[in-house]
Amino acid sequence: RAKERGGNRYEVADPDADARAITRHGLTNQLPSALRHGEFFVEYQPLIGLEDGAVLGAEALVRWLHPVHGVLGPDQFIPLAESTGQIVPLGRWVLQQAAQQARDWHDLQFTGPAPRINVNLSPVQLSHPDLVAEVVAVLEETRLQPSALCLEVTESALIGADEDALKPLRRIADLGVAIALDDFGTGYSNLSSLRWLPVSVLKLDRSFTRGMRQHPADPVEMKIVEGIVSLAHTLNLTVTVEGVETRTQAEHLRALGCDTAQGWYYGKAGPADQLHTLTLADAS
């Protein structure tokens, strides 16, 4: 490999790198059977309305209970699944699970208004020709109203996408499904693209709120978030903030007019029934 880069350069062998490569390779090969054997599971992180602290729904986050390595987080296998295309059946499975879970919540009516379910979409799924049909099928199978579903796509998946590439997303949005721009602010976002992207929710990355852990908050950070919220609201977008870890952050974000929040302060991702026990009092 060092040779491929040409010249007289050589690299010192890194035994850990080999071990990592083998593990990666192994995991990649195991993805298809893991899905067949039911080794994946979905956890749910509550989504909170900042105004009154109500639980509005949850984001579905996939995990892999690996027979040897234990529980693996998405960062450890989603990139692998994307590189082989396995993300397509895996992502479809997560969508089915999450939509069915939302259906069950609706049947329980655990907090009045129908809880929303957010599901992450990989760019690979976005460019797959069956995506729209799959979303339609899942909505029909689960009898979930489209407005209870929100699909999260990252900025980087949409940056540079032309009108053709956006067509499936537009059709999904036309069904009444919400589309969220995930990890907003971590990529090279063109703020003016918000005008024409079929997006109705901005999810602010948690890097924006680090300086809000204390009173007084970092004034520049406050101004930046204030500006984003004002722009988003002008464009009729809802603002969700990720990674809220302290009460102080929650207070600042509420004062800045952010609409919804997610983070360890309210609850980590966990089994579906943890949402049943979250009450208004817990969340505020």
The answer to whether residue 61 forms part of the interface with ligand C2E (CB under 6 A) is: yes
Tell me which of 32, 185, 243, 257 binds ligand C2E, using CB under 6 A. Answer: 243
Is 120 near Mg ion (CB under 5 A)?
yes
- For residue 155, state whether it binds Mg ion (rule: CB under 5 A): no
Q: Which does 245 bind (CB under 5 to 8 A by kind): ligand C2E, Mg ion, none?
A: ligand C2E
Residue 152 lies near Mg ion (rule: CB under 5 A) = yes
Q: How far from 219 is each of 1, 20, 90, 108, 230, CA to CA, in Å? A: 48, 42, 42, 43, 16
The piece of 13-21, 162-170, 219-227, 237-245 that touches ligand C2E (CB under 6 A) is 237-245
**Chosen residue from 86, 101, 122, 142 binding ligand C2E by CB under 6 A:** 122
Q: Does 73 bind ligand C2E (CB under 6 A)?
A: yes
What's the CA gap between 199 and 180, in Å, rounded? 6
Footprint of ligand C2E on residues 255-284 (CB under 6 A)? Answer: 262-264, 269
For Mg ion, which residue of 205, 218, 221, 251 counts as binding (CB under 5 A)? 205
Q: Which is nearer to ligand C2E, 102 or 108 (CB)?
A: 102
Q: How far is the CB of 141 from ligand C2E (least distance, A)?
A: 18
92 makes contact, choosing from ligand C2E, Mg ion, none, with CB < 5 to 8 Å by partner type, with: none
Which of the listed partners (ligand C2E, Mg ion, none) does 91 bind, with a CB threshold of 5 to 8 Å by partner kind? ligand C2E
**Position among 31, 55, 56, 62 found at the interface with ligand C2E (CB under 6 A):** 62
What does the binding site for ligand C2E look like in residue numbers (CB under 6 A)?
Answer: 45, 61-62, 73-75, 78, 91, 94, 120, 122, 152, 182-183, 206, 242-245, 262-264, 269
